[in-house]
Structures are given as C-alpha cells and as structure tokens.
Amino acid sequence: MDLTLNIWRQTSKDSAGNFETYQLKDINEHMSFLEMLDVLNEQLEGQGKEPVAFEHDCREGICGSCGLMINGAPHGHLPRTTTCQLHMREFKHGDNITIEPFRAGAFPVLKDLVVDRSALDRIVQAGGFISVRTGSAPDANAVPVPKDEADRAFDAATCIGCGACVASCPNAAAMLFTGAKVTHLGLLPQGQPERYDRVTKMVHQMDKEEFGHCSNFGECTVACPKGIPLDVISQMNRDLLVAQLKGRSA
C-alpha cells in the first residue's frame, strides 16, 4: 500500500518543530507500524538525511518505550495495543497518517517523536514502592493474599509506563498511571504500612510535575494498551481522602 505520512520533526528540546510530509510506497500489510517507520528511516538514511527519531525497544508490547500519537489516538486506534504491535493491515492504501509525539507540559519533546517521560519515574520515586530491605523479607507464604485481591493488584500492576494515559487525557493528567501504582501496592497486605503516606506523596509529586486533573472522561482507560481500569483513580481518591482524615501530609 502507498501512504502519506505527516510527521512532527523537531531538532532539539529548545527548537521549534514542524510537520513534514513523506510518501511511502509498497508498504507490506504484515509490517508493524514501527517497521513501516524503519522503512522510511532506511530511505532517509540512504539519502544521508537524518531519520525520524522515535523510541522503541522490546517491540512486543511490554517495555513501554514506544508511544506515538497516530491520527490523534495514542498507539493508534486499535484498543489494547502498543504502537509496536499495531500492524499496517489496520490501514488502507492511500491513507494519510499524522504522527505526533505524546503532548504534555511534563513530557518535553527531546527530538522529533521522542519525549522525556522521566516525570513518571519521579512519581514512583516519591513513594511508589514498598520499603523492604534486601534480605529482610519473611517467607513468601507467611502472609496469604486472597486470590481476588492479588488478581486486582496484578491488573493494576500491568502498567507499562508508556504515558498513553497522559497523552490521551484532555487535561494531560497522570492519574491513571499514579492510581495504578497506588492501587497495586495498596491492595496487598505488604503495602499497608505505607499506604496512606504513599498516596499523599505520589499525588503531591504528580502535581509538582504539573500534570493535570481528572475529569473522569475515561479517555485514558481506552487509550491504555493494558486496559487499566478507571477504578484505580477512584481508589487513589479514596485513599487520599482517608490519608487526610488520618492526618498524613506529603
């Protein structure tokens, strides 16, 4: 199939960017979206031009590196799919595809489609962990966890940190990301001692990074390649309220 691509190009963090148009011919429908971009980059490199910078690593939907805004949807229009698992058979001959970086004030563009998502790391660093020193753990079966709770914690823990929730949110909020971690650790017995400090600190950091708020639109949960449910945000709100009643502050 032949395609027209409109791609955001930007040399560096501080430079202004613009859209460039590229024509691609004879794209195989079995290619992944990123392989289609590889083809474009091979052509550009062959001409001695700078290829389009984009992030990718595992290419099997788990590392969370890739993340492009494809025709206005993070990771493209297919539900529960990362960009690397989106295949060209989802597009048609003659399609016009607009590819933009994930946009948020907290995600500055570093080059072309590469954005800096380290704000998400800092949210985890603020409290997204259980403080257990290596070697100090009790026997793993000492604390039974009801299967249902463990499964719900797992659902929240599947977050790959790609930032699609932020990219899709009209307020550029990181609520689904933060709520997923708060829920994952807050549901497990091991996570209880720090539960209310954790939520207070993580929310504080999330605000400090200037992410937006939640309007409960639900865009994030549809955009999330792992389908993390919106309930994690509600869980976070509840925990934060309880934390206030318990007198915890960041």
Residue 228 touches another protein, criterion: CB under 8 A? no
When the beta carbons of 89 and 92 are compared against another protein, the nearer one is: 89
* Element housing 238 (H / E): helix 231-245
Considering only residues 43 through 102, tell me which ones interact with another protein, judged by CB under 8 A.
44-46, 48-51, 53, 55-65, 69, 71-73, 77, 81, 85, 87, 89, 98, 100
At 87, the amino acid letter reads H
Contact partners, residue 59, CB within 8 Å, separation at least 6: 32, 34, 66, 84
Q: Does 121 bind another protein (CB under 8 A)?
A: yes
Cα 24 to Cα 71: distance, rounded to the nearest angstrom? 17
The pair of three-digit structure tokens given for residue 55, joined into one six-digit string = 């992030």
Q: Work out whether 198 is an interface residue with another protein (CB under 8 A).
A: no
**Which residue, 182, 195, 160, is CA-closest to 231?**
182
Residues 128-157 that bind another protein (CB under 8 A): 128-141, 143-147, 150-151, 153-154, 157
In whole angstroms, the minimum distance from the beta carbon of 169 to another protein comes to 8
Distance of closest approach, residue 94 Cβ to another protein, in angstroms: 17
The nearest distance, CB 130 to another protein, in angstroms, is 5
- Residues 219 and 46: their CA atoms lie apart, in Å, by 40
By beta-carbon proximity to another protein, the closer residue of 22 and 158 is 158
Query: Exposed, middle or buried: residue 49 (CB in 10 Å: 0-12, 13-18, 19+)?
Result: exposed
Residue 4 near another protein by CB under 8 A = no
Among 5, 33, 83, 161, binds another protein (CB under 8 A): 161
Residues of span 168-197 touching another protein by CB under 8 A: 168, 170-173, 184-185, 188, 190-191
Q: Does 225 bind another protein (CB under 8 A)?
A: no
The H or E element containing residue 200 is: helix 195-208
- Classify 22 as helix, strand or coil: strand
- Binding residue (CB under 8 A) for another protein from 5, 68, 219, 225: 219
Based on CB atoms, which residue is closest to another protein, 23 or 154? Answer: 154
Binding-residue total with another protein (CB under 8 A): 131
Backbone angles phi, psi at 22, to 5 degrees: -130, 145
- Binding residues for another protein restricted to 99-118, rule: CB under 8 A: 100, 103-106, 110-111, 114, 116-118
Q: Does 210 bind another protein (CB under 8 A)?
A: yes
Query: Alpha carbon of 156 to those of 22, 193, 201: distances in Å?
Result: 39, 19, 19
What helix, strand, coil percent values describe the chain, rounded to 5?
A: 40, 10, 50
Token readout for 119 is 């704000």
